[in-house]
Every structure is written in structure tokens, then in C-alpha cells.
Chain A
């Protein structure tokens, strides 16, 4: 299944080269978790993250499905 993973701010460093809009498209096994997507991108476990799955906060054990959009941020605030 294909899912889109967006990595923002300092996490952009972990995007594969050449992607646009800070978004990587990953091909993952059916029912893969958020943590598995992070392993593919080599995102370190110990980096604190704010994780949104289709705009809703989730944890790393959440399961993904075809067409999902995962948006991942380091701890941020402001505005």
C-alpha cells in the first residue's frame, strides 16, 4: 500500500532526496504501523515527534492504510 509521509522543520533532513512539498510516498506492507514508516525513513526513535495521521493526533503504534497522509513535526510552538 502507498502512504504519504510529510516531514516538517528539522525532520525534513530525513526525507529522501528529490521529493517535493516535503512529502515522501512510501510503499509499505498492508497494515504497517507508523513506527514501521519511521524505520523506512530512518527517523531516530529518540527524536520527540508530534504525529498527525490525516490531521488527527496518533501514536507510533497506529496502523496505516492505503492513501493515508502522515504529517510529522518536531516539538514546535509559536504564533
Chain B
């Protein structure tokens, strides 16, 4: 077989021991890799109800069989753990160059367990693995850490690290790859709780695929198709994800001021088009990607001066419209701070927006915050982003995430999210499929578990009316299962804007030779989704958690194209459970578990 290296690394920080273990090929085939394989291992090896920030929790860095192989956009891995933000399973997807380098060093996964007494970092140089002292870099930002560790490891090494936010257990802290790529659900805080500052890796071994000629043929065909498709060949390379700002705003479900409105009147000021005309320097690609959607940007002068990457669409929304801010330079600066300090900008902006609403309603006072906290204030955005990342002043409150902020002040109804994780940049009232996906996503509110915006807005692969609930349960299930395959293979989800399962299946099969066909591969996606569900059920989550905030269910969007709309979850959820083969309480039936080999 190929694709997988067949080996993983286990690092026990309590004992200071690193060991290499063989991957079970049957488990690898059935759970593919990445998100699926790591979820399986986490499920098997951790006890339910474990405190996410205790030494008993584990964090897995998991590549897929296509990561680093040269497969189109095979750049991704997942960090999988129990989330300190949600208490549910966390799988945080990242690209860049670190995941491929991990494979080149010879590892499909790195499992980190226990807790080091003192700050350490891991230095993996092919077969040599060392746990090294990190006291001299504790407290440093992600950007500083990478530069310092390059000097003491290898100029060509790649890094996954945490900033001050991870060290201080900010509940939405990220692990950041290659300075600028992080994910959601607070996985950085788990790394921080283990006193693990960074992983540096250098790999020079290369990878094998099972059927080289067939693999190259399908990869070349996929590359050509991605180049020819307007979204992946033109839209994303030219404008990046920020291209989406104006179209979501034009549909009237661009959440504004903590979801009080669906249209942000000055959205164009923080759009992809405006970024291209002002802050953009050039675009940039992850390993093996022909799309190159990343943005290298610069704010040339003024109070928000800086150079870095982003913001992406999601951050333009969370740090921008959700906080009522249309100052692109301030939003860009806040995004740089998120990368430097190691935080998820979605949660940062969404938590701040929640606090801003409570401030404007007189629930949070100026003395609580130490300053005013009105919507639309760019200075407040930048100051509070930095303070959250360092847990200073009111930032220590924000660092707990929007649900806990809203609960602290006695108004949980102002938390806009699901299962403790804040919503991303689409109001489910205007896109019913996305509302259902938010309610059922295994890691709390998440758009990239079942990105139904593709059919509901962009017409990919077919156009669906965003306001109807008809057919949404089926499309959600299909998208969620296919996304589990993409995530577990080590591919980037954005490929699916240009290619589909008819390319992904032969790519995976040619690389692995594991005997995948359309039927058993789709079953693997469904298996992964159900396993994550079982993890959450074991943690105490029930059907009552598959819901949305009262505002989204009952308060209509006040104006714009989606005026009068609410999320009609009750029209979709029972059908969704039925299609999934779950009982009325959202629990997989024994029959379904047997069918998936999970019984």
C-alpha cells in the first residue's frame, strides 16, 4: 500500500518518552486518516468526561494518505482533541507546509499525551525525535517562535506552534502552522495545557504511492479541471475567500452586529475587491495547491500598520461586520494579532460582538471593560483582540468565548453559536441548509462540516433555494459525509469547488491501493461522522444540543432580502435523523452502527 507512511509517533510528555508505532492498516483503511483516523484513536484511548485541559486529554496531529503525495491540494492535516471551548470532539483543519513535512519525516500522526513539567518543544528530524526545553521561547508570539526555532533546528524546518493565547489557555486558541494558518475549537489551549510550545519537523524521505502512473494521470486531470473551473481557476486565485463578502451581504444573511441584522451597509469596504485594490501584495499557496487562495497583505501606514497574511472571508466578517466595523486596516491588524498570538479570529470577533451587544444594552459597563465597547469602534477591536490573547483586563473575560461571557453576565441568549462554539459568517435564517448543518455539526457551529452555501448561494454542484427547507436534510447529510472523506484524506475542501468524488476516489485509490470504491468510501465518510457523534454522546451531548439560539429560531431578520426569515430547524431535523439512521433522540441505532462496523 502507499499514501500512508504506516508509522506514527507517540509522545508522552509526562514521562518524557517518544515512541514509534505501526499503523493498523485495517483501521487506516476504514477511517482513512486525518480527522477520521485521529477521532478513532482519541475515542479508543481517552475516557469520557476527561477535562480537556488536563494531562489525561490527548491531542493528535493527523495527516491523511494524500497529504504530501503531490495530490492536488494534498496539504492538510487535522489537530484532533477534546475541545476546551465545547467539550465536544474538536478537529481543526490546517494547511501550509507543516503537514506534508510530517509525512516526509515518516509519520502519519503524532499523538501527544500527558503534560510536561516545564515548557518544551518537539524537534523531529526524520527518525530523530527530541523533547527540548522551550523556556526561552515561552511567552513569545508564533511569529517570533518560528524565527527563533529555525535558527536552532533547521532553516528548512516547518512549525506548528502556539502563541501566548495557547499558553494562557484561551479557549479559542489555535495551533498555528507556518505562521499564518490556524483552526478552530481551542486546540491551541490543549497544546498549552501540556506545556508544549511547538513542534518543529524536518523530513526528507519522500513518499510512495501504490500505483504511480494511475496516480499521476488522475492528479494531472484534476489539476487541469481546477485550472479550468471559474471558481478555482479565477475567483479564488484572484480574490481569495474575501470574494464572498459582497455576495453574502447581497443575499441579506451577512450577520451584522452579533446577528441583530443581515445586511452590513458598508460591507464593500471590507470586501475582497477592496482588499485587492488596497492591502493585497500577492497570493500564496499551500503545499501542492494550484488554487493559491491565501493573501499576503500589508497595511502601509497609520495606527494599524503591519505586514502578514489575510484576513480571510471569515475574519473579515467576524472582526468586521459582526462587530459593526468597516475599517479594513483595523480588521487586518486584528487578524495579524490573531495569527501572532495564536487565536481563532472567528471566535475572537464573535465573542467581542456578543460583548458589544451586551455593552450597548447596558448589561456590561464601561468599568467592567475599562473602556467603551460600542459596535463600530476599530480601536476597541484591536485593543480587545490583543488583551484577549494575553488574558489581560477584560480580555481575560473574552478569552472564555462568547457562551461563557454571555452566561457570566446572566444573558446566555446573546451567545450566537451552537454547543459552545460561535457561528461563522452565514446567518442560518437566510440559508436553511446551513442552519441545519450548524445545529448538527459535531464540533459545534461550523460551516466547513457541511458547506451547503455551495448549492444555496453559488449553485455548486446545483442551485438550491436558500430559503426552502425541502431537500436540505439530504444535502446536509451528503455534504457532511463527503467532507469527512476530504478532511480525512488530507485534501483541501476548496477542491470540491472544481472537482468531485469522481476525481477524489481514483486519486485516493491510486495512492493507497487499499481497495476503495465509491460505495465503501462513502461508507467511510458516514462511519467517521457517526464515530464523532458517538464521541459526543459519550460526553453527555443529546438531541437537545442540536439546536440554535432563540434569535435564529424565533426573531426574523429585520430587513433586507432575507427580511422576515427565521431558521425552520424543526422542519428539517427529524428528517435528518431519519436519513442518518438515528432514533428520534439523535442516537445512532444498533442497526446503523452494525452497518458501519461501529457496534
B contact set with A: CB distance below 8 Å: 230-231, 234-236, 238-244, 246-248, 250-252, 268, 271-273, 293, 312-314, 425-426, 447, 451, 453-454, 457-460, 463, 465, 494, 497, 560-562
Contact = CB atoms under 8 A, between A and B. Distances in A.
The 4 closest A-B pairs by CB, nearest first: A55-B561, A78-B241, A75-B230, A71-B250
B251 A52 contact: yes
A12 B246 CA distance: 12
A6 B231 CA distance: 20
A79 B434 CA distance: 13
A55 B249 CA distance: 9
A76 B458 contact: yes
Among A12, A55, A79, the one with the most B-chain Cβ atoms within 10 Å of its Cβ is A79
Nearest to A69: B250
B244 A8 contact: no
11 contacts: A9-B239, A9-B273, A12-B273, A22-B268, A54-B561, A71-B247, A71-B250, A74-B235, A77-B497, A78-B293, A79-B447
B234 A50 contact: no
B268 A76 contact: no
Interface string A28-54: 000000000000000000001010101
Contact of A76 (B244, B425, B447, B561): B244
A50 B230 contact: no
A10 B236 CA distance: 11
A48 B458 CA distance: 12
Question: Interface on chain A toward B: helix, strand, loop, or mixed SS?
Answer: loop
Given A77-B244, A78-B236, A22 B273 contact: yes
A74 B246 CA distance: 12
A77 B454 contact: yes
A74 B234 CA distance: 10
A6 B250 contact: yes
A78 B308 CA distance: 20
Interface in A14-28: 21-22
B234 A10 contact: yes
A64 B498 CA distance: 33
Given A21-B268, A50-B247, A55-B561, A75 B231 contact: yes
A52 B247 CA distance: 9
Nearest to B230: A75
Contacts, number: 96
Nearest to B267: A21
A57 B463 contact: yes
A44 B425 CA distance: 32
B231 A79 contact: no
A73 B246 contact: yes
B268 A9 contact: no
Contacts of B561: 52, 54-56
Contacts of A77: 231, 235-236, 244, 453-454, 457-458, 460, 497
B155 to A, nearest CB: 33
A78 B244 contact: yes
Contacts of B271: 8
A76 B251 CA distance: 14
A35 to B, nearest CB: 19
Nearest to B426: A79
B395 to A, nearest CB: 27
Contacts of A75: 230-231, 235, 458-459
A71 B562 CA distance: 15
A23 to B, nearest CB: 9
B529 to A, nearest CB: 21
Given A78-B242, A78-B313, 12 more contacts: A9-B235, A10-B234, A52-B247, A52-B561, A55-B251, A55-B252, A55-B561, A74-B234, A76-B236, A76-B247, A78-B244, A79-B312
Contact of B562 (A12, A55, A76): A55
B313 A50 contact: no
B235 A48 contact: no
B494 to A, nearest CB: 7
